[in-house]
Amino acid sequence: MEIETKHELFERMVLSTTALIIAVLLILLTLLGPLGLEILKHKTSPSAISQTQGQDLVNLILLAPLCLIGGILHLRRRAEAKYFLILVGIYVCLYTGLAYGIGQEWNHPSYSGNTEQYFWLFLSLIIGGLILFIGSLSMFTEDDAPEFNTRNLRIYAILMTVFLLFFVSMWLQEIIEVVSTGDTSTGSYQESPNVFWVIRYFDLGITIPLGFVGLYLLITRPKKAYSVMLAFYGFFVTLSTAVLCMALVMLLNRDPNLQTEGLFIFPILAILAWLGLFYLLKPKISNWWNLRGQK
């Protein structure tokens, strides 16, 4: 094992500690929120609360374990740590820290809550997510990228593009409806207008463009952009899984704001996202499995 320089030791300790702190904060957020003890009360509609429960569930069963495993492995100087840490930074920063922090109905007279008392939690997740994203990117080199089958990449990219366009169409139809009539057909916009615009701006301005950028890089330079693609697909996997959980919670709660077309689009997007991530990691998983078999 190579001897670490002082700055490498410092960076490893910062990144590992950040990952472990984020894991604790995500668990705390879930325990305090509407899925747990309901001490943290969001200023938003009942429908948005159902969506928050779905997102909190993903924070608990997917994101927190990834941070814990990645943080512990990185403390132990294990090379595979970066494949866990790279997956969580963007989502933790944007869709947990930032969306929870600003996506409240601050001026809506019908809702009360205490989310402003937990600004430190959301702010910590935003900063921690940025540190994880930047720090984990720097852990990769071009040698980490495996060889890819070009034909399979193109078939996957076409499928993913089709369903991303369905996603775009669904959100644009709702925006046009709101601009034209002042509300959605289910009345969800009037219930929580701030959440509506936060999610649409995030998805149409960040999530979907990242999807197309990720597909382009996957086809044109899969080896050079390997770490960036892992970060993107980690974001797609966590986001699509969270959206799917939100839809399931809304379905169980018989939420009238649930979009029926979403029950078709979101599961397929989640499956495609997981398949894309598995494709990127499959050679690494095979190598780890073979190394374990040789011991």
Sign, CA torsion 175/181/182/184 = negative
Residues in the chain with pLDDT values less than 50: none
Q: How many residues does the chain have?
A: 295
What are the tens digits of pLDDT across the range 97-124? 988 998 888 888 888 889 999 999 999 9
- Res 25: pLDDT: 97
**Whole-structure pTM value:** 0.86
- Burial class for 205, CB neighbours closer than 10 Å (0-12, 13-18, 19+): exposed
Q: What are 219's two structure tokens?
A: 């086809």
- Res 177: pLDDT: 92
**Close Cβ partners of 277 (under 8 Å, ≥ 6 residues apart):** 87, 230, 233, 234, 236, 237
- CA separation for the pair 46, 121 (Å, rounded): 22
- Res 268: pLDDT: 84
What are the tens digits of pLDDT across the range 257-269? 777 766 777 788 8
- Res 292: pLDDT: 54
Can you give the C-alpha Rg of the chain in angstroms? 20
- Res 129: pLDDT: 94
